[in-house]
Structures are given as structure tokens and as C-alpha cells.
Structure 1
Amino acid sequence: MGEFADFFVVDADVHINERPEDLIPYCDMPWRKALEASSTMPHRYLNIPGFAPQFSGNRPFWPGGFDKKTVKTPEQLRNDLNDLGIDIGVIFPDNLLLIATFPQREYAAALARAYNAYLVDKWCDKQPGLKGVLLAAPQDPQDAAREIEKYKDEEGIVGVYLPCGGLHTLWGHEMYNPIFEAAESAGLPVILHSVLTLNSAFPFNGLEQFETEFARHAVAHSMSLMFNMLRMIETGVPVRFPNLKICFIEGGLSWVPYMAMRLDKEYLERRRYVQHLEHPPSHYIKNFYYGTQPIEEPENASDLVKIIELYEGENTTMFASDWPHHDFDHPRAILKLPVSKDIKRKILGENALEFFSIDKHGKRLNLKRKVKEDVTTL
């Protein structure tokens, strides 16, 4: 598109619609039988019994409203991204955004293994600029670590997705150390991605106090990311894994400076409780990465620029569209910001290239490739 001629655009969050029938060939027995049964049920938007738990509770269905669009093929996704002016898209799941809500450890791990195999086989690099992130099932950290080890040298894999929707044990817990260790060793960043759900897990258990999607959707994503960030800082994840890149996606940006300032205030009085931290919390918060979606749109766009400045996000903020979900953001949202062209280039693409360690062709820069040596016969 002409308006993006001077920009290279990386979308840090696009979604594909993986269905039970898609994962059947990749799933271990006996869980394959469960997917076969699920595939015969009606497919609703992010709500397939036994595969994608109902994510927003009972609510009225209004005529018209949001377009529940899905992406089903690499060709469709590539065409969609072309229309949006996006060069590289990083793929997340759709139905399995809610995998953290599954109570059965073996089933969750089997679904994650099947999805990862499907992602690599059918999506990553099957069209130019389509990259993927591995799904790490929080129910079985050891199995998730094995998945990272298995796929760490795949060109199309550029990160590890840590589900936050309905997560019962926040990501800072030591039980997840195998995932962090494996990701850091593989040179793969981790991305925390939330989603709206009504669930007994904190903080989603509080959403039942609200009657409408207006209220629930306003706070669910950002609160989930806030509490996971707090737990990771409290337990010293960025200290224990100093080479692990961490990103928070699908919560917008306005909560970030609040956390930086609030935690620094607590640190001044109560640092004895977190003696393992080598710097004030804001130091780590300013070194995390953040996806823009759903981007705030204040009446005065300079207010959003100020928010980014408050957490020094010029080099750590990445454009994310959330395509094709109803609340997706067009990259024009970044073009409209009253900042320099250099900063727009960073947010639209350069920061993501750095975070995912890829070049503009989607090649992983940290991937160890076998090099054929010339042998001279004397």
C-alpha cells in the first residue's frame, strides 16, 4: 500500500482459526478420539465444547455487530496482511487462546503438541512473512520445555506463547522455570497474551461482578497482564533469566507506566521483600516489550505518545493488529501518532525485528545453520 511505502511493518499478533479436525492428524491417542468427537459439534466463535471453552459467558446476541471473521489458510492470511500493508505476521492460535482453562494436564499438553506440529507443518513460512510462536501449555511445564527443544531450530518459529486467559498459576511461579530455561537457551522470546474469559482463576473470577461485555472487556486483558507481570517481577524472572526477552500483548499500553511508577513506590519502602531484584521494578518494566493492540485512542493523540514516553517505549513498543478479531487495529493507528518517522518505523517494524531476532526476509538471525565447508583436495 502506498501509505506504507516508507515503512516495513511487522504485526506481532495475528490469529489463525485452528479447529479440532485440523489437529486430529497431529494428536496422540487417546486424545485424538476427543478431537474427533469435538469435530462433529457445531463450530461457534471461540466456543467448541471440549476444545475451546465458552469465553465470555451468557450474553445477548444483537443483530449485526462484530464480524466474527476467521483465517483458515496461509493464502488467505497472506492476502489479508497484504491488504493491511503488513509485511510479516506472527501467528497465535484462536480457539486455543483458552488452553490455560483446561483442568486435565495430559489433554492440555497433547493439544499443545498437536497445535505446534500443525503450526510448523501447515503455516510457518508456507507463505512469505508468516512466522509462528510455539504454544506452551502451562499445565505441564516439562512437556512445554521439550516442545521448545524440539522446535528451537525451526526457521518459522520465532517465539513461545505463554497463555494468560484463565491461567490458575501466574507465570512468575518457579514451576515454570523449565519453560523459561528452555526459551532462553533456544534464543526464543516469550510472549504473554491474554483473552477474555469468565473463570475461577484470578483475576478472571472478578469479572462476574459485571453485567456487560463493555465492562468485562475493558479490564480483563490488561489486568491479567498486570498481575502476571507483577508475579514475574516479584519472583525475579528477569533477574534469573537475564537473556530472556519478554513481551506483553493484547492489553494496550496505558497500564504500563502505572505499573512502573506504582511498583517503584512499593520498592522504596519494601525492597527487603524482593532482595533478589538488582534494580527498581521500573528498570525491568522498561526493558520488557509491549504490543500496541488494543491501542488506546485518546482525543488528543499526544496523550498516547506521552504514555509511551513514560515507560521509555520508543524501542520496546511493537505494532500488533490482533487480526482478524473484531477489535483489530490497522497499522494506520501508528501512522497517526504525532511522532517522528523514525519512531514510527521502530514501532511498526524495527522493534519487532529486534525482539524476534529476524531480518526483513523473516530469517532468524540467531539460528545456528549448518555451513558446508569447501574441501580442497591436494
Structure 2
Amino acid sequence: MPLQDHHQIVSVDDHLIEHPRVWQERLPEALKERGPRIIEKDGKHQWAYDGNIYPTIGLNAVAGKPPAEWGLDPFRYEQMVPGCYDPVERVKDMDTDGVQAALCFPSFPGFGGNIFHRASDKDLALLCVQAWNDFNVDEWCAAAPDRLIPMCIIPMWDIGLAVEEVRRAAAKGARTLTFPDSPVPLGLPSFHNDAWEPFWTACEETDMVVSLHFGSSGHVPGYSFSTMQAVPGQMTMPDAPFAVAIALFATNLMWSTVDLLFSGVLQRHPNLRFSLAEGGIGWIPYILERCDFVWDRHRHYMHNIDFDARPSDLFRKHMWECFIDDEFGVRNLDVIGADKVMLEIDFPHSDSNWPNSRRRAAEVLATVPDDVVTAITETNARELFRFPRVG
């Protein structure tokens, strides 16, 4: 059934491009020079932060441009549509696209805030994390509180500080936090390590959804987001073009999901909820079948595997999934389960169908019953992120 007027689209994975004043307006005067700021270099806008220069990646802001003009070169702000960095203009772009509400991940800090994790001055980094969270809740989302869903990043290098920031951001109104799809590339304990227990507890107690966005660890298959170069020893060939990594983006979340299903975290925290951002859904039936197969045959001698909790049952209780354009996944909703599937638009990135997202969603969901379309486009996301309709 095509999308009707009563079908509102809630995108659970969009992105914002931080405007140049985000940190300059929020850091103490003495720290502004070392805090994130935009500089001009070779006619391009780039971020300067604590003595380092970071490019703005063109694929982060290609909305409105034909694919033939895409590239990885840094952009200037005037080359982007204003909705990339201006929340008022963003809402106009959402209206053009037929999208009612959106959850927007960070850009300069990395999808999971890993730029600040890698910084040498952790006192400054903590203030930068808090400044981004204040910007997101008090400026970005406050510009359209019924359209933009508040989220936060955390100081993941210190679990105690992370717990404090989870509670602070939740009190401000954040509904979800973005967390690395794998902490290990950042030198942090894995999902199997009990060190994260206070953090998981804080997420449960504050009803904070943990959003795992592919690449939020700073790495995608075979590539580093920080250098945009191949990483020797990873799964893809060292001389592969970046297209190989793009095609394999979803595998980040496959790995993360299997780790979590066998970690014991989900059994110890029955109210913990995860959103798997930009991972697609077509892979889910096979992964769950395979995990159950392995669990059934191998749990008897592996004492660190739960003997009673079937992985597929844990997945269906704790994991919400989303897709941009996944026809195969939609054809298999009866196996995946539509009650936790959501839609993502990915504006202003290169996977987005903007300004034709609503039309494309209608095509992909054309054979899906009306009540299931409603769940996927809107209500699953509103219930997960506690973001009800207004009016």
C-alpha cells in the first residue's frame, strides 16, 4: 500500500553538520582557541581542534547534488544546503522530503564522539562533549521540539564520567546516546568486559536508548574514517577502493550484534535497548539463524555462553533495526519481525534519497499492510525514543 497522508515518517538516522560557533559559544574564553573552530585553509573550511586540523568530508553533505559531483574533498559551508547546519532550514528540508521527525547524529566529533576520545587534553574534551550535548538539546532540537529528537555523546574514555553525562543529558531531555559500534578500536573494553556495567545500568535507569551507528568506532571494513585510507590487516584487500568499504558498511553492525548477543549484557540488563543505525535489515534472518545454530551446538562446553537465553530471543527483545532502502529486508519482514523495524533517511549523506525519500519509501513498502507501514515509518520509532506526536 502506498504511503498515505496519515503515515508520518520519523527518521532514526539523519546527521547534522555543526555550525562554526557550536564550541566557540560554549567553551570558557581561555579555551576557545584550542576548542573546535573553523579555519580557512587552501580555500576550504576545516576544523581546528587542540593543535590538529580535521577536514570536513564532502560525502557528509551532498544533499541536493547529483552523484557525478560527489567526492571526498572538504566542503565550504556555502556549498552545502543550509539545512545541513541550520535547524530551521533543516525542518524546511524535511518538509520538502515528506519527513515529520528526525534523529540527527554528530559529524565533526565522529558518529560516536571518537574525536574527543582521541584528544590528548581530556579536560578540554569533556567540556567539548558537554558543549555538543547542550547545543543539540538547547539549540538544534529546541528550534523544533516536535520535529527533532534529542541525542547525546559521552566521554567514553572514563566510564564514571560517561555515567555522569548520561544522567546529565537525560535530565536535559536526551532520548538516546550514540555509542561506538565497537569500543575496541578506540582502546576501550569490549562488550564482553564487565567494566561497562555501571554505564549499562545508567542507560537502563534513565531509559536512554543506546544507538550504535556503523563506523562510530572510527573504522569501517578495511578503512579508517580519520585518514580515509586502507587499514592493513583488516578484512578487505589493502588496495581496495573506498567503494568496497561503503558496500560493507552493514557488517560493522553484524559484528556488534553478535558480540552483544553472546556477551551476557542483555541478560543482566533486561531493560536495555539498542538501535542499530544504518545497518540495514536484510542480513538479520541469516545472522539470527546462525547464532541460534551455534548456541544450540556449542553452549554446552563454553562456560561463558548463557545456557538458557537463545540469541534470537535476545535480539527480538533488545534490538531495534532500521533501513534506508532495503527491498530484500522488507520482503522478509515476517522473519525479521516488523515491530522493531524503523525507517532512516540519512540526510544529508550520500545514501539518502532526499528530496524523494517519501516517494522511495512508498515504493519499497508498496506491498506492506497499512498497519505495518505505520509501525515502520513512525510508531516503532516514537515508542522507542519516547517522542509522541504533537497535535
Q: Is the 8 A contact 2:10 2:101 kept in 1?
A: yes
Matched with 1:33 is 33
SS of residue in 1 equivalent to 2:142: coil
Among 347, 364, 379, which residue is 1:323 paired with?
A: 347
Name the CA distance, whole Å, in 2 between partners of 1:228 and 1:46.
32
Name the CA distance, whole Å, in 1 between partners of 2:176 and 2:127.
19
Q: For residues 30 and 163 of structure 1, do their structure 2 counterparts lie closer, same or farther at Cα, with a shift above 3 Å needed?
A: farther
The number of residues matched between the two structures is 347
Matches within 5 A, 1:108-257: 108-127=125-144, 128-155=146-173, 157-164=174-181, 167-169=186-188, 170-195=190-215, 197=220, 198-199=223-224, 205-207=234-236, 209-219=238-248, 221-257=249-285
TM-align CA RMSD: 3.3
Tell me the CA shift for residue 229 of structure 1: 1.7
Matched with 1:100 is 114
Tell me the CA shift for residue 309 of structure 1: 2.4
Q: For residues 164 and 109 of structure 1, do their structure 2 counterparts lie closer, same or farther at Cα, with a shift above 3 Å needed?
A: farther
Tell me the CA shift for residue 94 of structure 1: 1.6
Q: What is the identity, as a one-letter code, of the residue corresponding to 2:171?
A: D
Q: For residues 27 and 241 of structure 1, do their structure 2 counterparts lie closer, same or farther at Cα, with a shift above 3 Å needed?
A: farther
Name the CA distance, whole Å, in 1 between partners of 2:237 and 2:125.
25
SS of residue in 2 equivalent to 1:123: helix
Name the CA distance, whole Å, in 2 between partners of 1:138 and 1:51.
22
Tell me the CA shift for residue 140 of structure 1: 2.5
SS of residue in 1 equivalent to 2:211: strand
Q: For residues 315 and 179 of structure 1, do their structure 2 counterparts lie closer, same or farther at Cα, with a shift above 3 Å needed?
A: same
Structure 2 residue runs of 5 or longer lacking an equivalent are 59-66, 72-78
TM-score between both structures, scaled by the size of structure 2: 0.78
Q: What is the identity, as a one-letter code, of the residue corresponding to 2:335?
A: L
Structure 1 residue runs of 5 or longer lacking an equivalent are 57-61, 298-302, 363-378
Q: For residues 350 and 75 of structure 1, do their structure 2 counterparts lie closer, same or farther at Cα, with a shift above 3 Å needed?
A: same
Q: Is the 8 A contact 2:56 2:108 kept in 1?
A: no
Tell me the CA shift for residue 321 of structure 1: 0.6
Name the CA distance, whole Å, in 1 between partners of 2:235 and 2:35.
31
Q: Deviations over 1:299-350 (max 9, x none)?
A: xxxx4333332222x1000111111112114133332221111111100001
SS of residue in 2 equivalent to 1:304: helix
Among 313, 320, 323, which residue is 1:283 paired with?
A: 313
Alignment pair present for 1:90 and 2:108: no
Q: For residues 194 and 266 of structure 1, do their structure 2 counterparts lie closer, same or farther at Cα, with a shift above 3 Å needed?
A: same
Matched with 2:76 is none
Matched with 1:80 is 93
Q: Deviations over 1:262-313 (max 9, x none)?
A: 11111012214344364211111223101113x324xxxxx4333332222x
Tell me the CA shift for residue 39 of structure 1: 2.4
Tell me the CA shift for residue 175 of structure 1: 2.8
Q: For residues 200 and 252 of structure 1, do their structure 2 counterparts lie closer, same or farther at Cα, with a shift above 3 Å needed?
A: closer
Q: Is the 8 A contact 1:100 1:164 kept in 2?
A: no
Matched with 2:70 is 65
Name the CA distance, whole Å, in 1 between partners of 2:47 and 2:284.
31
Name the CA distance, whole Å, in 2 between partners of 1:3 and 1:97.
33
Tell me the CA shift for residue 228 of structure 1: 1.7
Alignment pair present for 1:348 and 2:366: no
Tell me the CA shift for residue 30 of structure 1: 6.8
Name the CA distance, whole Å, in 1 between partners of 2:32 and 2:237.
33
SS of residue in 2 equivalent to 1:290: strand
Q: What is the identity, as a one-letter code, of the residue corresponding to 2:206?
A: A
TM-score between both structures, scaled by the size of structure 1: 0.80
Matched with 2:75 is none
Q: Is the 8 A contact 1:319 1:331 kept in 2?
A: no
Q: What is the identity, as a one-letter code, of the residue corresponding to 2:118?
A: P
Tell me the CA shift for residue 19 of structure 1: 4.4
Q: Is the 8 A contact 1:97 1:163 kept in 2?
A: no
Q: Is the 8 A contact 1:46 1:55 kept in 2?
A: no
Tell me the CA shift for residue 148 of structure 1: 1.4
Among 289, 308, 311, which residue is 2:333 paired with?
A: 308
Q: Is the 8 A contact 1:23 1:114 kept in 2?
A: yes
Name the CA distance, whole Å, in 2 between partners of 1:89 and 1:200.
24
Name the CA distance, whole Å, in 1 between partners of 2:91 and 2:225.
38
Matched with 2:361 is 334
Q: Is the 8 A contact 2:45 2:55 kept in 1?
A: no
